[in-house]
Amino acid sequence: MFKPKYPPMDTAPVSAAQPLTVHSPVPLQHAAAPAPTEAASNRPAVQLAPGSTLTLVVGGSAVALVVGAVLVSMLLAVAVTAASVAVCAVTVRSILKSDRR
């Protein structure tokens, strides 16, 4: 299923060998690059109004609370699963022990 399908060998195109061409090296001349300059920013500086700061704080707190609730619920699900597996193990052990008597 995952093996690639290759074409048969006789359908591959045959390439003719090309003669080698020897080129003489050409000396390179590098021009001196100008020093980079700081480009002036056309964007205004970010300014937060007191209302927008409060919105950011409340939004960040809400996100933290939601993420925390999700993580705690996942931890609780793992704990409940572990407890149920432990109860099952004790029950099976008890049944097997009573069969031996």
Q: Provide mean pLDDT across the span 59-85.
A: 97
State both tokens at 3: 């093996």
Q: What would the pLDDT profile of 18-38 be if each residue is shown by its tens digit?
A: 666 767 776 767 667 676 666
Q: What would the pLDDT profile of 2-21 be if each residue is shown by its tens digit?
A: 888 877 777 656 666 666 67
Q: Does the predicted TM-score (pTM) go above 0.75?
A: no
* Total number of residues shown for the chain: 101
Contact 48, 56 (CB under 8 A): yes
Q: Provide, rounded to the nearest whole percent, the portion of the chain with pLDDT above 90.
A: 41
